[in-house]
Structure 1
Amino acid sequence: MRVFRRRAAVGVALVTSVMALTSCGGPENSDGSGAVTGKVEGQVTFQTWNLKAHFKDYFEGVIADFEKKYPDAHVKWIDQPAEGYPDKLSADAVGGTLPDVVNVSPDLAYPLAKAGLALDLEKAAGTYRGEYLAGAWRSQRMPGLPGVYAFPWYLNTGPMFYNKKLFARAGLDPEKPPKTYDRLFAEAVTMAKRSDGKTAMLASTPSIEDFGRYGVRLMNSRGTRFTFNEPKGVELLRHYRELYAAGALDSQALTAQAESAGRKFEQQSVAMNPGSALDLENFRKEAPSLYRNIGITDAVNNTGRANMYVQGLMVNAQSRVKPAAVAFAHFVTGAQRQMAFARKVAIFPSTRGALDDPYFTKEDGTDATRVRVAAARSLRTAVNYTPVALSDQMKTVLRNAVARAVQGKQSPKAALDGAAAECNRLLATG
C-alpha cells in the first residue's frame, strides 16, 4: 500500500466537458442555505484507492457500523488499483458513473471541483468543520473556488533523519541538527569542507515543498498564477547552486529519486534525509552501524510549519443519495474511525484533538513510536505546501529548471522565471 501518492491530475478539459452535456444530476436535499438535509437512505457507492488488499476487515467493519446506525442506507464498496486511478476518475466523470463518495488527494479533487462534480462541503456540511484540524480542512480548498471539496481524511508528514556520527566528525553538534535553512546551508558547507568533499549534507535538489518551507509565496492569493520565481525563490535556488559547487549537495542529486537518496543516506555518504518508521526498521536490520547513530528531527523550514500530505473523501455533487453520501463520508472520517485506522497503518487522523492521544505523544522505546511521536508533533501546525494546481507536467518543468540553475547552465532567476511562465501557460490552458 502506498499511503500517499503524487499522481497526475484528472484532465480538466475532459471533465469540464461533462458539465456542458449534463444537468446538475440528482434531486437536491437542501434547507435553502446549501446544507444537505433529508433522510439517510439509499445505496451509497464508496470508492477507495488501493486499500482493500490490506484493510478489507477494517472497511467492512466501518460499513457494517454505518448500516447499523442507518438501517435504510447501504454501502457498496469499490476499491480501485493505484495504477491508472486518475484515468479511472476521468472516465467515470465523463461517463456519469462517478461514485457517491470518492477517495481523492487534493490534486485529484481540483479538476472535479472545477467541473462542478465535487460537492462544496463548506455549504453542504459546514457544521462539521470544527471536528477537523484547521490546516486539514483548509487543505481541501481549491484555488479560484469558494468552498471545501472533501472531508479531510488521513494525514502524514515526514520527519528528517540525520547521522549523528557524521555531524560529530565535522565538528557539528550531533544533538542540535539544523532547524532553519540558514543553518542548514552553513553547516552543509562546513561538513563538505571538513570531509574533503566525501560527505554531503543532502542528496536531492529542492522541490516545490522546499520552496514552500523556505517561505516562498508559491501562488498568488487567487490561485491563478504561480509566483515561486519571486526574489525569495531565487535566493533559495542560489543557495542550492552554492551547495552543489561546494560538494555539500550530492553529485547525483540532479537525477536522484527518493529511493536513490535513501541509499546514499544508508551508505553514510549523505548526512540528512527524510524517512519513515519503515525506513528506520530497515536501517536496524540492514545498516546497524547507521542505525546506532540515527537522529530524528523535524524537516528544516523557515515557516515553523511542516509539510502535510493529506487524503480526503469527496462527495459527488450529482449523487442521487446526497444525505446518505455526506453522512457516510463524515462517518468514515470521524474521530473514532480515523483513530482506529491510524492504529493499523502509519498514518495520522485529521480530527481535532486526536494527536493528543498517548498513542501519538508517548514513546515506548520502539522505532515506530519514535517516528510516530516526532511526526505527530509536527502535524499539529503543518500545512500542505504543494499547490493543488501543480500538475506532474509542471513539476517536471520546475525540476528541469532547478537542475539547470544548480549546474550553472542558467541563472537561478532566469531558470525560475522560465519555469513560472511555462507553468502559468499550462495552468491557463488547463
Structure 2
Amino acid sequence: MRMSRRTFAAAAVAAVLLPLSACGSGGDGGGSSDASGKVEGDITFQTWNLRANFKPYFEGLVAEFEKKYPGTHVKWIDQPAEGYADKISADAAGGTLPDVVNVSPDLVAPLARAGLALDLDKAAGRYKGEYLEGAWGAHRIPGTSGTYAFPWYLNTGPLFYNKSLFRKAGLDPDAPPKTYDQLFADALRIAERTGGKVATLANVPTIEDFGRYGVPLMNQDGTGFAFNDPKGAELLGKYKQLYDAKALDPQALTATPESSGKKFLTEAVAMNPGSALDLGNFKKQAPNLYRNIGITDQITSTGHVNMYVMGVMVNAQSKRKPAAVAFAHFVTDAAHQMSFAKQVAIFPSTAGSLDDPYFTQQDGTDETRVRVAAAKSLKNAVNYTPVLFSEQMKTALRNEVARALQGKESPQEALDNAVKQCDTLLRQQGQ
C-alpha cells in the first residue's frame, strides 16, 4: 500500500500500459456510460497490495455492501505491489480487467485513452460534490473530457529534520527553513561546518519539486511539457550548487526513496520528507534520531503542498455497471473513507471529512501533530505530478538532472533535453 510520502513517491510503472492506446479512442470504448438501473449481479474488485494488512476491513466492506444490495456478489482480489501495472496491462489487453480497480492517476490515464475507464462525470456526476475538488480532478486526463476514477485516499506529509545536526552546524534547531532560499543557505552551512560529511538532502529534484518551486510543468492544453523555463533552470542550478558543496548527498543520483530514508535514519542527512507513519519507525529503529526529530512543513513557493492520491476506477466495459459504480462509490464514500483512515495514516478525499476532530484536535503527541497539520494542508493541496508523466518520462528527467549535477550539461541544456524527450514520449502515448 502506498501510504507514506516516500512509498507514494515510488509510483508503479505506467509505461507498460502505453500500447493500450491502440485499443480505443477515449470515451467509454463503445460501452454505454449509463450506470442507471438495478444494482445487482456479480462484480470483481481489485486492490493494490492491501490484503496482508487490511483483510478484515475489506471483507467487512464487501459483506456490508452485499447486505445493502441483496442480489449482488463482490469477488475481492488483491494484487502485489510489484508488477501491478503489468497485471493491469495484461488484463486490459486480454479483456479480463476487473469491474472495479484500485488505480493511481498515472495508471488510469492510458486506460482512459483506450476507452477502458468509465467517465464518471457522465455516469456518476451526481456524486462529484461529495469529494474535495482537487481530489475529484486528480483523475482527469488532458486531451480528454471527463473524470475516470473516484478519488479514494490521499496522503501528504511534512519535512523531518535532525535537530542535533542543525545544532552542531550552529543553526537554531527550532527554526527550520521555511523558504527555498533558507533551505539552500542552511544546507550549504551544514556542509561547510561538517567538512562535507553531512548532507542536508538525499534526493535530486523530481517533477513534483519543480511544481512546488512554481515551475510550469505543462502548457495550458496539456500537449507539451514546460518545466525547462528559466525558473526550472534556476532550481536545478541551486541543486548543482548543493551537489558541488556536498550539501546534496553524493549518492543522490542513484538514490531511491527507500535508500534516502535509510540515510536519514542513520543520521547521514539532515532532512527528509515523510509522513506520520515514519514517526513510529524512527521511535523503533532510531531512538536517538527520534529524540532529536524536528517536524516542519513542506517547502513550497506556490502556497500549495504536494499530495498523492489513489482512486477507484470502474471498467467501462463492465456488464454490471450499476453495481460496479455503486460499489466504487461505496468504497470511497465519507463513512468508509473515515473508517479506513483511522486504521492507517492516510486521509479521506471526501468533502468535510478533514474537519472531523480526528484531523483537527491535538493531543500532545507528534503523530497527531503531523496528522492535523497534514489534514489542514490537504484542503488545498495539489497533485503536482502530471497525470501523463509516465515512468519513462521520470527516468528521462532524472537522467538529465544527473548530467546537469555532474557538470556534463548546463541546467538549461539538461531541462531542454528532458522536455524534448518527454514530449516525444507524450506524442507516442497519443498514437
How far apart, CA to CA, are the structure 2 residues paired with 1:29 and 1:17? 20
The range that moved more, 162-171 or 10-19, is: 10-19
Match of 2:254 in 1: 255
Are 1:186 and 2:185 an aligned pair?
yes
4+ long deviations beyond 6 Å: none
Deviations 1:360-413 (A, max 9, x none): 222334443233223222222111111121111211111111111112111001
Note closer, same or farther for the CA distance 1:25–1:64 as it changes in structure 2 (3 Å cut): farther
**Other structure's SS at 2:39 match:** coil
Aligned equivalents of 1:88 and 1:253: distance in 2? 31
CA drift of 1:113 comes to 0.2
Task: List per-residue Cα deviations over 1:109-163 (Å, max 9, x = no partner).
Answer: 0000001111111121112111111111111111111111000001111221011
**Aligned residue for 1:66?**
65
User: Residue 238 of structure 2 aligns with which residue?
Assistant: 239
Q: Is the 8 A contact 2:119 2:147 kept in 1?
A: yes
CA contact (8 A) 2:139 2:387 kept: no
- Match of 2:320? 321
**3-state SS of the aligned residue for 1:139?**
helix
Query: Over the residues paired in the alignment, what is the CA RMSD in angstroms?
Result: 1.9
CA change 1:16–1:289 in 2 (3 A) is: closer
Instruction: Report the CA distance shift for 1:24/1:398 in structure 2 as closer, same or farther (over 3 A).
Output: closer
Flag the 1:397–1:344 CA change in 2: closer, same or farther, 3 A: same
Report Cα offsets for 1:299-326 as digits up to 9, x if no partner.
Answer: 1111111111111010111111111111
Match of 1:84 in 2: 83
What SS class does the counterpart of residue 302 from structure 1 fall into?
A: coil
**Distance in structure 1 (CA, Å) of the matches to 2:332 and 2:42:** 19
AA in 2 matched with 1:135: G
Partner of 1:429: 428
Aligned AA for 2:205? P
Contact 1:144–1:222 (CA under 8 A) maintained in structure 2: yes
Given the alignment of the two structures, is residue 340 of structure 1 paired with residue 363 of structure 2, yes or no?
A: no
Shift of 1:10: 5.6
Question: Which residue type is aligned with residue 24 of structure 2?
Answer: M
Structure 1 residues 298 and 124, CA, compared in 2 at 3 Å: closer, same or farther?
same
More deviation in 413-422 or 2-11? 2-11
CA distance in 1, matches of 2:281, 2:338: 26
Gaps of 5+ in 1: 31-35
Is the contact made by 2:190 and 2:247 (CA closer than 8 Å) also made in structure 1? Answer: yes
CA–CA distance in structure 2, aligned partners of residues 66 and 322 of structure 1 = 15
- The one-letter code of the counterpart of 2:372 is V
Does the aligned pair in 1 maintain the 2:33–2:123 contact within 8 Å?
Answer: no
In the alignment, structure 1 residue 19 sits paired with structure 2 residue 18: no
Q: Secondary structure of 1:311's match?
A: strand
Query: In the alignment, what sits opposite 1:49?
Result: 48
Counterparts of residues 231-310 of structure 1 (less than 5 Å) = 231-310=230-309
Q: 1:86-115, CA deviations, whole angstroms, 9 ceiling, x for partnerless residues?
A: 111112112211111111111110000001
Distance 1:114 1:382 in 2: 26
| Post-superposition offset of 1:24 | 4.5
- Counterpart AA for 1:418: N
Residue equivalent to 2:417: 418
CA distance in 1, matches of 2:29, 2:426: 26
The more displaced of 319-328 and 229-238 is 319-328
CA distance in 1, matches of 2:19, 2:210: 31
TM-score (structure 1 length as normaliser) = 0.93
Q: Which residue of 2 aligns with 1:392?
A: 391
Q: Give the total of aligned pairs.
A: 422
More divergent stretch after superposition (197-206 vs 8-17): 8-17
Q: Percent identity?
A: 68
| CA distance, structure 1, for counterparts of residue 208 and residue 345 of structure 2 | 21
Give the Cα separation in 2 of the matches to 1:53 and 1:369.
25
Aligned residue type for 2:45? F
Instruction: Tell me if structure 2 keeps the 8 A contact 1:158–1:274.
Output: yes
SS of match in other structure, 2:151: strand
Question: Is the CA contact (8 Å cut-off) linking 1:25 and 1:319 kept in structure 2?
Answer: no
Counterpart position of 1:136: 135
1:374 aligns with 2:373: yes
Q: Deviations over 1:235-260 (max 9, x none)?
A: 10001111112232122222222222
